[in-house]
Homo-oligomer: A and B are copies of this chain.
Amino acid sequence: MNQMDDILENVAIGAWVKAFSRAPGQANAPHESDAELIELPGDPEHLLAITIDTVAEEIHTGLYQESYTMGWVAVMASLSDLAAVGADPLGMVVSVSAPSGRDSGFAESAGRGMEDACRSLGVFILGGDSNLTSEISLTGCSIGIVPKSAALTRRGVKPGDAVFLTGRAGIGNALGLVKLSGLPDEYFPESNYRPSARLAAGRALRDHATAAMDTSDGVLTTLDQLMRLNGCGFEIKCDWPMILSEDVLALCDRTGTPYWMMLAGPHGEFELVFTVPATEAEAFPEKSRALGFDTIRLGTVHQKAVITLALPSGRQVDIDMSSLRNLLDTSGGDLSHYLSEFRKMGGSWGLE
């Protein structure tokens, strides 16, 4: 776990965690699962899963400009954490803070984003809180239940395991690139960013995956965190047309953006990264289709705690995500500095 402290976000979370006593009936330790898992007094067969997520930074930096997107993501970000522990959702509560929190226009369209996200997954908003603030901030809190013997966590990755993704990735970083570089909206319209929580996949993975975590902070950040938690690394086969969404590939081609940036950036989507024992790996894609979801083979878990990209050229490049993950903190909110340093990072890793 020592490697965890190389990441400033982990340290920041640690400062809060340090203040709090540990709950007796809690099944997970800090950082070890996407949602918190706690015993239910009246139901010894299940754990209650609970998770809270605030959408604020993405709004202030201009990544989300449509109220609908803000509402959609506030719901999905939270449900995605339930997906990553394999939970069946019981419902959500939301807290909405906005200057126009009492202006029905904002409520109408952010509320529609929330409701559409919920309806697409059969989940319900049970209630919430509203506040008048000068900045918009939307918080979603989801609860669910998961069989005690089968809850998924981020721990359990073993060398030799195969690592998969529940769908093509990159739309989060594609949106980030367009909004932060000030590219015209048509390069990647905000409405292309409608990531969905993989609840059905998470449920099905309960009996198969050795570990799971969502890609809300980008695919490589997810792999990096899994690496630090489990003490083993990943070899990722960079078959770009298989890993990245078509509209993401098109954006990269049109703007001359290297593909790796779409996995390395910190704004992800809500796919799951999960690992499966070597013995199940070959048959898994077919099995997952039978279970009702697609999987993309990302690569293999190896002993050494490093992420190795196997590029289409045949070259293998070891990357160190720590400076990139810390870049948002160290660049102190200067987004153009952030973007130029981000691009340079590839060069330092030996990427073109």
Q: Using a CB–CB distance below 8 Å, which chain A residues touch chain B?
A: 8-9, 12-13, 15-16, 18-26, 28, 30, 35-36, 38, 40-43, 45-46, 48, 50-54, 56-57, 60, 88, 90-91, 93-97, 101-102, 104, 107-108, 111-112, 114-115, 118-119, 124-135, 137, 139, 141, 143, 145, 329, 333
Kindly identify which residue among B9, B53, B54, B118 contacts A21, using a CB–CB cutoff of 8 Å: B118
Q: Are A126 and B56 touching (Cβ within 8 A)?
A: no
Q: Are A42 and B46 touching (Cβ within 8 A)?
A: yes
Q: Are B15 and A52 touching (Cβ within 8 A)?
A: no
CB distance from A352 to the nearest CB of B (A): 32
25 CB < 8 A contacts A-B: A8-B102, A12-B101, A12-B107, A15-B111, A16-B111, A18-B111, A19-B115, A20-B111, A20-B114, A20-B115, A20-B124, A23-B126, A26-B126, A40-B90, A41-B145, A42-B46, A51-B93, A52-B93, A52-B127, A52-B129, A54-B97, A54-B131, A57-B133, A97-B137, A143-B143
- Give the docked Cα–Cα distance between A26 and B104 (Å): 25
CB distance from A251 to the nearest CB of B (A): 27
Contact of A56 with B145 at beta-carbon distance under 8 Å, contacts A21-B115, A115-B19, A139-B95 already known: no
Q: What number of copies of this chain does the assembly contain?
A: 2
Contact of A50 with B102 at beta-carbon distance under 8 Å, contacts A93-B36, A124-B21, A133-B56 already known: no
Contact of A329 with B19 at beta-carbon distance under 8 Å, contacts A53-B129, A133-B137 already known: no
Kindly identify which residue among B43, B108, B139 contacts A40, using a CB–CB cutoff of 8 Å: B43
- Give the docked Cα–Cα distance between A111 and B13 (Å): 11
- Give the docked Cα–Cα distance between A106 and B48 (Å): 30
Q: Are B130 and A12 touching (Cβ within 8 A)?
A: yes
Secondary structure at chain A's binding surface: helix, strand, loop or mixed? mixed
CB distance from A252 to the nearest CB of B (A): 28
CB distance from A143 to the nearest CB of B (A): 6
Q: Are A19 and B124 touching (Cβ within 8 A)?
A: no
Q: Which residues of B contact A50 (CB under 8 A)?
A: 91, 93, 126-127, 141, 143
Q: Are A16 and B134 touching (Cβ within 8 A)?
A: no
The chain B residue with its CB closest to the CB of A107 is B15
Q: Which residues of B contact A90 (CB under 8 A)?
A: 25, 38, 40-41, 48
Q: Are A91 and B36 touching (Cβ within 8 A)?
A: yes
Contact of A20 with B141 at beta-carbon distance under 8 Å, contacts A107-B12, A133-B56, A133-B135 already known: no
Q: Which residues of B contact A26 (CB under 8 A)?
A: 91, 124, 126
- Give the docked Cα–Cα distance between A280 and B143 (Å): 38
CB distance from A116 to the nearest CB of B (A): 10
Contact of A36 with B126 at beta-carbon distance under 8 Å, contacts A20-B114, A131-B57 already known: yes
Q: Are B38 and A40 touching (Cβ within 8 A)?
A: no
- Give the docked Cα–Cα distance between A91 and B21 (Å): 12
CB distance from A153 to the nearest CB of B (A): 13
CB distance from A128 to the nearest CB of B (A): 6
- Give the docked Cα–Cα distance between A181 and B132 (Å): 21
Q: Which residues of B contact A22 (CB under 8 A)?
A: 124
- Give the docked Cα–Cα distance between A102 and B60 (Å): 17
- Give the docked Cα–Cα distance between A90 and B24 (Å): 10
